[in-house]
A and B are shown apart, each in its own frame.
Chain A
Amino acid sequence: MAPIFTPRADARLRLVLVVAALLAVLALALGYAWARSGSTWAVGKPAEQPIPFSHAIHAGQLGLDCGFCHSDAARGAGAGMPAGELCLGCHQRVWNVTAQFAPIQAAVDAGLATQWASVHRLPDHVRFHHAAHLAAGVTCATCHGAVETMPRTVRAETLSMGWCLDCHRDPQTRGLTPVGLGAQPYVHAGIEVPPLTRCTVCHK
């Protein structure tokens, strides 16, 4: 009687095995890439803002200092968003297109806060202190990118934990000088321990 498997069967078997293996590898590779791709982290995606504010004009063409509007960055945890009064203070004189500033005007009149959409919001369990980073020598652009070139503000970095650790593992080699006794590396059992990678440094 005829054998139950023709010679072709072996070829098919091998084909199936090889394709399955390739698919598995492909899936893992795709997952790996996806997790690290900028789009996954909303890099370069602008958020809906109450008014079409352009950093390119203010920080770029006019050359305003970041601290002019984000005045808390140098001393506080949050960088602070400008009060409506600050915006209108200038814009009553220059470029006072009232229609455009209606949302801010409304907020100011109501004594309420202007609701900007955050582009760099970190998860609830993360503590980020602007002043500490500026004091250590980190520039605004390190995390926020070249905002002075951005007509619509977008995220420049993934802000993933791994990305933070790139600096925190060894700030000194990047020319940064973290302040505070607790920030100096120390050796235990012959192994140098970078203190800025401890959980409580960044986590609530």
Chain B
Amino acid sequence: MSGGATRRDALRVMGASIALSALAGCDQPDEFGHPLHGRGRGVASEDAVFPTTLELDGLGRGVLVRTRGGHPIKVEGNPGHPGSLGASDVFLESAPLSLHAPERSRHALQRGRPAAPGAVRDAFAGLRGEGLRIVTGPLSSPTLRRLVAEALEASPGSVWHVHDPMADPASQAAALAAFGEAMEVLPDLRAARTVLCLGADPLGHGPAQLALARAWREGRPRLLVAEASPSLTGARADRRLALHPAEFEPLARAIAGELGVGGLVAGATHLAAASLATALREAGPGALVLAGRGQPAAVHAIAHAINAHLESSALRLISPPSGGGEAMAPLEEAMRAGEVSRLLLLDVNPAHDRAGFAAAMGRVAHSAHLGERVDETGRAAAWHLPLAHPLESWGDSRSFDGTPGIRQPVAPHPGGEVRGTVETLLALLDREGTGRDAVRDTWRTVWGEVDFEARWEEALEAGVAGEPAPAASLALRPDWDFPGSPFPPGLAAHFAPDPHLRAGAFAHEAWLQELPRPLTRLSWGNAALVAPETAARLGLAAGDEVELTLGGETLRAPVLPLAGQAVDCVTLPLGFGRRAGGPVGEGRGFHAAALRPADGAWVVPGLALRATGERIALIARESQPGLEPDTAKVVAPGERLPPFAYGSSLHQPWPYPGAAWAMAIDLDACIGCNACAIACQAENNVPVVGPADMARGRGLHWLRVERHDRPEDRSLFQPVPCMHCEKAPCEPVCPVNATVHDHEGLNAMVYPRCIGTRTCSNNCPYKVRRFNFEDHRRRVDTPARNPDVALRPRGVMEKCTYCTHRIQAARAEGRLDTVETACARACPTRAILFGDLNDPQSAVARARHDPRSYLMLEELGTRPRTSYLARVEEGGA
């Protein structure tokens, strides 16, 4: 590409002189003498696909990684794995991007300076011995758990702590109280008929999202959601209540009382209780109550009790796949007291998540941090050891339901001092052998020697290494209930993971930073979310800076009034305000974790808030309503929309022999998880434009997910790719034939021919065309780019191509009937269908005849190939 770049630069400079000869009919000859790779050992020249496993919050999701020339270029879900079911989310899709991040650590650092060669051995030597403290994230990996255990044995008096900013202590406590042992509830949304979510967000981002969303799509239970801050589940709810944190326990108790749940110590009343209780009672065993992160232990306990009382068949109890480990608070105490001399932090960043941790680390004589980049913890630690990317190293993990899977590397191991987590523990144990050997040893002990090799190969190929965890059948203990102290009214701080950055683990992913959040529409930053009523009372508008005070700590943050937010509840998204870890994440938004108490509570009363009078520019890509009404249609159950009525035309329609590609998007299935948008960005080398240009409205996302308001502050999400109109308005206005139709009805955009008049974007009624205001090629052109999609130079238009390169590849391989666009492939609820209209059996052709099917802006007569299926709601539009 560099050849191309220089070529174009040259043209840019001496355009005039070229113009003459060009007038006489010359274009630029292509570059010459580029290196062409002969095949290396074991490297296929064409695509190769590897099944492996990637973790989120310590729980694995099976993926298929497509590689070209030995480099991963795309991650897709592994249909055989319960954690992904063939779908993917924003975190899986963006995995290859960070492989080539320039800020990744390649060398060990001692007190911030490159360590002398071989000195790393001393580092490990220093860690071995009395009172070693090992801090890991939540571990589901059998191998890691085994090695940690062995490390603890090796050095007496050592302790294993688990640092999990996403953990929910209350739910663990409640499970203990209710069942006597640590248990986790696996909701079965396929079997459920009515689901009451008390602050629970099963459809929201998380390790189980893909599975739960698919199950919800297939079972379509009635969703009753009570929550303090809008969530994806609340957006899709059939009934939604915005409750102040103080109201949840009373509501739960009231419902339990209405249902006559036994063992209820204290009762309460709540207005909504009666109707909710009735709904649950009607559902009988199909009823399910889910208490979410941040609810007091009592609410969790009551949820267990109600489920038991109604003999709910829509859930399974399993022992948590990533349980175990000591808490962090005692460790921090000990560190402050100077009692800790050896500290090893494996791929965790407590210095960012816990306010006082960095300072405490200063008192640890010998601390080592293993991470992909020098983050806050890496800076505070005496040693920073470079961690291999998950796609580069061996490992294993369990999915949310306990299904094990093996992680095999799909990219070349960087070598040198870079180690995977497993290899690091091996080094700590001073063991020989590779990570692969360690993982094989683990499974050899599980499977035994008998035809181990066969099972190993099988597990690698399937991406699944065993069965889900068995369901425990435990009776509810009579003394399950323990009323907590009543939650005080008034302003409450409600900490929440950012939908894209979690607690900050993904702050380095530019794709995730830039993509507008599903509900807040914020990009490149966070804001303190307040209810419009609260904002009105305090006279605050979006972008006003406020000073937040909680437990003595203060913090400055911009506010964003958000419809559906509970009054007097201020939601503070985590994951921002990074002070280290690379240019992408550093200094974005505000550091909400600084206010969070040491016990990792999610909801804290007694928040003080005062306007500073300053303003902070928010990048909120909130859409204004369009001129045409109901571009996103809603119907009542059973309602039929009128069949397509194309506008009349002077010309006879153009024939499309062969295939006629089309897409159908089911608004009733879409949960707004943004997976399609990131999948599109990953597949099509869509550049990141950065905060400045995002604020200016120059984002390049080919596929945008629009958010429409619904009653009860719910939301309707509408993915908008190119419509590929058969009578595309963009084409007749282009002066140079740079956008034209092909013989299969694709609206093609020919980048090399485009001169950038932008008149096509002007004439696109769907506003799906994007313009390269700057040259982004250099940043996109990493080995992780998709070689099948050209990079776009400055000054040309680009847009969704229906993944035309995938169609061409499928044609070459003679499997046109299975061709799928990247967005359709990623969608966890299968809301996006793609196929051939000329084939009456194709899903798309059938969707077009669905009574819910409609075309956007049909009255313009553009004849879009992308059709929509209206959302279904009680009472319709």
Contact = CB atoms under 8 A, between A and B. Distances in A.
User: Is there a direct interface between A and B, measured as CB atoms under 8 Å apart in the complex?
Assistant: yes
Interface of A: 27-32, 34-36, 40-42, 45, 47-48, 72, 76-78, 80-85, 107-108, 111-119, 121-127, 129, 131-132, 158-161, 180-182, 184, 186, 188-189, 193, 195, 198-201, 203-204
A84 B812 contact: no
Contacts of A124: 1, 4, 790-791
B39 A28 contact: no
B655 interface: yes
Given A35-B27, A81-B37, A83-B38, 14 more contacts: A28-B24, A31-B24, A32-B25, A40-B29, A45-B32, A80-B45, A81-B36, A115-B35, A115-B38, A117-B36, A127-B808, A182-B811, A193-B743, A203-B748
Given A80-B45, A83-B40, A188 B654 contact: yes
Contacts of A34: 21, 24, 26
Nearest to A50: B38
A42 B29 CA distance: 8
Contacts of A119: 32-33
B46 A123 contact: no
Contacts of B30: 121-123, 126, 159
User: Which of B22, B655, B746, B812 gathers most chain A CB within 10 Å?
Assistant: B812
B40 A31 contact: no
What DSSP secondary structure best describes chain B's contact surface? loop
Pick the 8 closest A-B CB pairs, nearest first. Answer: A35-B26, A31-B24, A31-B21, A114-B38, A181-B658, A125-B790, A182-B658, A118-B36
B696 interface: no
Interface string B2-34: 001000000000000000111111110111111
Contacts of A107: 38, 40
Contacts of A203: 748, 750-752, 790
B485 interface: no
Given A72-B45, A76-B46, A198-B748, A116 B36 contact: yes
In which size bucket is the chain B interface? 35 or more
Interface in B580-637: none
A123 B29 CA distance: 9
A28 B751 CA distance: 27
B26 A31 contact: yes
B789 A204 contact: yes
Contacts of A47: 32-33
A43 to B, nearest CB: 9
B319 interface: no
B484 interface: no
A158 to B, nearest CB: 7
24 contacts: A29-B24, A35-B21, A40-B26, A42-B29, A76-B46, A83-B40, A107-B40, A113-B38, A113-B40, A113-B69, A121-B36, A123-B4, A127-B808, A129-B808, A160-B27, A181-B657, A182-B658, A182-B743, A182-B811, A186-B657, A188-B652, A188-B655, A200-B746, A204-B805
B31 A180 contact: no
A182 B659 contact: yes
B42 interface: yes
B842 interface: no
A76 to B, nearest CB: 5
A123 to B, nearest CB: 4
A116 B658 contact: no
User: Which of B39, B69, B789, B804 gathers most chain A CB within 10 Å?
Assistant: B39
B451 interface: no
User: Which of A81, A113, A132, A198 gathers most chain B CB within 10 Å?
Assistant: A113
A39 to B, nearest CB: 10
Contact of A201 (B659, B740, B742): B742
A184 B743 CA distance: 10
